[in-house]
Structure 1
């Protein structure tokens, strides 16, 4: 990603009296024209670098061999950091780049940058995932976190579209789906009331507006612990209905892939019938029955009775629908 390269180029410039496009190309493993364009992009964005021509020439930082990124505005620095935090997975190189960027920032910018970096979480997916939410919404939320500001969001929830004013605290990913942990402020303060912390799907945010009022995380707020608690709470809600299932051994892995964190192997060793015992979960009994119906050839729900009854009812509806000679049934108006 180009944002990664620009940060690396800036850090290389910081550690050397000067660097040529060819030297930068070798360091970044890109072509010389690409390296030259990256250097020109840094200069155009306001980074205090300039080229010197002729023998022994190259690109140098204004004022000496080191910089604290004072050529960047706070908004530009935050934009670079947001680009890094949004791109790809949390591989070691990207984590290292974010840390180096934060360390290299001037003191006035560092606190906001640290809040953005600390509030960004990547996690394993919940089952199937949707397309990634627009980066503009995430960027706006991260800017609010950096500046300790409240936001107003129009959110499309299960009860329809509602307007919510809250303090954004954590931006988390489960696979490619993104979530916001946010809370309203405590009465009479500008600190978020974490007792009212909620998780919001960012792809359901229809509009977002940055508010002038301050909003910050309370002292001692633990991002990782808050994320873990909310994930556990959602997992409990998603797994309110449970079923014990006897599964053909070769299908255990496939069932785990389908149900994700809602599938558990209880007895890996085959029973007398040659099947393994698993527990699978869903948010409702009917939803669990619908998911299990497609596995009827390899998995049998042995309990509880309400799941077996829901499967039986579903089977009866399917039989009633398809027991005719194949001609579509005519629906008569009421």
Structure 2
């Protein structure tokens, strides 16, 4: 709406000082011509806007002028939860609201504090998604978010590992984890909530029917407990590993907290710098792929079943490369060669 854009334009000039028409157009995502029309509208409404000519010129407010139009709308207040994650706010349809809310907050601050805010913005930045990973496509996120807010039932087609399903869901909350969105919802008739990865929704229809939230349900508490249950279910065994110095350095990178804990209990290094650790891992199928990512600097010592599974995977890889490209370098005895990561089970249903 034009009224909202005029307020944003006014706050930009108040908070940042002189700005060119092109800079304002980029901030407002409009054309330069539209900026000139909006500047004229502000002037006609009594806002003292000056136009400075020349290479260093631009538009500015008369010295000393400050607007008091700094109250937040409901949508702007909602958007502040994502003040450090503008990309995720945009996915939820709150991008413009967040931008305006930040400008209003900055305008309401004393000059010294507003300057500190700008310094922090220049020096600290939050980037939620993991490295080397494109964001999941989430075409239905905004609709799901609105259903969560309005407590409305949704009818959804969802892609599971075991096949696609259609369900009516009672959406209780959204969680952003590692750059991916998850919906916590109760399937109609199910006693307990479940977790659904938003990118796997194939179709979503928000129904007119509303529902009551379960008494005492807390999204943060549910997610924390769900994460604990998932970790306990996935980490089914303890592997004893012999690691080269390089593989030991990679352990926290590849395995996160489990790798950190394993290194904390590592034994003394041998003459070549290799150490032995005990680390919680998933079932053999998943653990093989994870451990192969450490390359030839990792040897599985126990349990015997996992060691045998890794050995078999290495043999199959060696055979594959002999067929495709002739014999390659020998695999060091007892050590693990690099190989593909077959992935693991998803934490969602």
TM-score by length of 1: 0.62
Shift of 1:240: 2.8
C-alpha separation in 2, matches of 1:54 and 1:170: 43
SS in 1 for 2:215: coil
Shift of 1:155: 0.7
Contact 2:85 2:128 survives alignment (8 Å): no
Task: Please tell me whether residue 142 in structure 1 is matched to residue 133 in structure 2.
Answer: no
Contact 1:246 1:300 survives alignment (8 Å): yes
Matched with 1:210 is: 206
Match of 2:183 among 177, 180, 185: 180
Task: Please tell me whether residue 270 in structure 1 is matched to residue 263 in structure 2.
Answer: no
TM-score by length of 2: 0.60
Query: Residues 233 and 327 (structure 1 numbering): CA distance in 2 closer, same or farther, change over 3 Å?
Result: same
Task: Please tell me whether residue 292 in structure 1 is matched to residue 288 in structure 2.
Answer: no
Query: Residues 86 and 155 (structure 1 numbering): CA distance in 2 closer, same or farther, change over 3 Å?
Result: farther
Deviations 1:153-208 (A, max 9, x none): 111101100012112222222222221111135x6xxxxx7x52111111111111
After superposing the two structures, state which structure 1 stretch, 172-181 or 318-327, moved more: 318-327
C-alpha separation in 2, matches of 1:230 and 1:140: 24
Aligned length: 271
Matched with 1:163 is: 166
Matched with 1:57 is: 48
Contact 1:267 1:276 survives alignment (8 Å): no
SS in 1 for 2:154: strand
Matched with 2:246 is: 250
Contact 1:86 1:135 survives alignment (8 Å): no
C-alpha separation in 2, matches of 1:177 and 1:129: 14
Contact 2:265 2:277 survives alignment (8 Å): yes
Contact 2:153 2:211 survives alignment (8 Å): yes
Task: Please tell me whether residue 232 in structure 1 is matched to residue 198 in structure 2.
Answer: no
C-alpha separation in 1, matches of 2:141 and 2:324: 54
Deviations 1:248-290 (A, max 9, x none): 2332231221233443324245344533333445543023123
Matched with 1:118 is: none
**1:118-133 correspondence runs (5 A):** 130-133=133-136
Contact 2:265 2:278 survives alignment (8 Å): no
SS in 1 for 2:134: coil
SS in 2 for 1:132: coil
What root-mean-square deviation, in Å, do the aligned CA atoms of Structure 1 and Structure 2 show?
A: 4.7
C-alpha separation in 1, matches of 2:287 and 2:322: 25
Contact 2:128 2:179 survives alignment (8 Å): no
Contact 1:21 1:36 survives alignment (8 Å): no
Contact 2:183 2:198 survives alignment (8 Å): yes
